[in-house]
Structure 1
Amino acid sequence: GTELVLEPDAHPAVKPYQTALAEDGIPVTSFAVDDVRAEFERLRALGVHFTQEPTEMGPVTTAVLDDTCGNLIQIAQYA
């Protein structure tokens, strides 16, 4: 599978940036998936907390999850 490694947040600019993105609901990255709804259900069953359930936005459907480290991650299905 895919693994994303984010750098440690020791730099003084990281925490304010990370906090601002999370408070505004802005994901730090996005991953394309074949079926957002199926992946949402699979991950939720594993205990993943989503801040946005699958939402259709024109030609894309997205869902946003909390990575438990202060970042929001988006999964997206493109039509």
Structure 2
Amino acid sequence: MSNEQPNNPLHGLTLEMVVTSLQERYGWDGLAQRIDINCFKNDPSIKSSLKFLRKTQWARDKVESLYISTLEQKSPWERAK
């Protein structure tokens, strides 16, 4: 059995990479509008967000889902970067 997951868009990405990418695209305000969690609304930082998301699976699922839908919105040329 192989460990590779060619159809998993999150394969090889860390949670930090996902959060950083979303924050750069939407900003903290944009993230808070899309996912209503305090770590995006009150004094947000990558570090505090990661701490919360690592222990709160439902919130992490929402962040990962947003990342995947954001990835699907990009053109193939942007994804190749």
The normalised TM-score by structure 1 is 0.27
Larger relative contact order (C-alpha < 8 A, sep ≥ 6)?
1
Q: Which has the higher helix share?
A: 2
Q: Which has the higher strand share?
A: 1
